[in-house]
Structure 1
Amino acid sequence: MEQTLKIMDLPENERPRERLLRYGTQSLSNAELLAIILGSGTKRENVLSLSNRIIKETGGLNGLLKSTVEDFMSLSGIGEAKAAQLMALLELSKRFKSYRDGNDYKISKPKDAALLIMNEMKNFKQEHLKVIMLNTKNVVMFIKDVSVGSLNSSIVHPREVFCDAIRKNSAFIIVCHNHPSGDPQPSNEDINVTNRLKECGKLLGIELLDHLIIGNGRYISLKEKGIL
């Protein structure tokens, strides 16, 4: 049986960790960066080979970002521990893109809200509904995942949308959902849901500022389109 080449068997200047420390992160390939994060391979495969295969079998970096824990665990050599490492990496990546620093995030226009959630939501394979909650100064207080699945008035209950906004004393909310097809054009059901939430917001004293529909790198603001 052929013995697997271990990372420590490589010359020092070819090992990912040593290369990063000596030459910087920019000198490393995607697989080498992933290998450093995973730390170890399997009995049959060293970590560099494993990392190359993960990236290849998930469809490159874009595919990696869209993967679920089930997707990772379906790969040979990936158990719960490594799947958890990969999911933690993806979540940090999403958070870094959304929150570039620790300062308050203020929303002054629809594009500000879109930039906050675009990178995460454009990769979803199913429709997700999120609610961005704002204070009286339009600063983001909290973002809540409300539902997963086709957006329709039967599953988008105002109670779920406004529950945390009431508890957190939010002044405004922005509703966001994605179209996995990549086309952000609003459907009749999207408009019906928006109108229903708008009326409920009036009764509760929490204004619905906008409803954003996220496509593949594009978005549509129902406020900008004059629908809201």
Structure 2
Amino acid sequence: MNSSPTHKPRPMVDLLVSVVLPSLILMKLSGQDQLGVSGGLVAALAFPLGWGIFELVKYKKFNFIALLGLVSVLLTGSIGLFELDNKWLAIKEAAIPAIIGIAVLVSTFTPYPLFKTLFFNASIMDIDTIKQKLEENNSTAIFEKRLMTATYLVAGSFAFSATMNYILAKWIVTSPAGTEAFNEELGQMTLYSYPMIAIPSMIMMMGVFYYLWRSINKATGLKLEDLLVKK
């Protein structure tokens, strides 16, 4: 019997604790008369780390947003602590989404394409019914082409994210690493990345999912409730 409390998703709280508060600490409390550069980084890291541990212990749930916040603050803050050249920050910001996008493309040449494996699988969709309808309508080849198009669109959304991350980092973070101004600019970059990059990327992904659903609907005639696995 599971005695863990019921966990309800709280995306706004996750963003506040894992992104907004660390960013504000880096921007406002990294001065030498306050927490200092290293102290500001440690304090900023404490929020996503503490929140992720709290969620894991109390609800037995892994908090992905907290992990992203922790990794982001840790990597960007480490560049400040080791006083690396600013170019590494821009490269780091672009590298993660670029690697994911490349992996999505490369996986199409393997037996297990990432996009198809993650989103067109038996745990989400009624694959057997969909395949049966595709065969009945002689639409299997057409649907596979549209699934490949959706894969390219997903890779394109990661390419957009990588490009915008690089531009934003080069635009905002101009101060030498290891300084109070550098930490402040890191916080600004993190805050701006959500309305300028994360939200547009999310809208793109929603568009891809809509395109995929419409493709299945046209190819099979099935409605949305017929496509999904019955719980």
Taking structure 2 as the reference length, what is the TM-score of the superposition? Answer: 0.27
Q: Which has the higher contact order (CA 8 A, sep 6+)?
A: 2
Determine which structure has the larger strand proportion and give its number.
1
Determine which structure has the larger helix proportion and give its number.
2
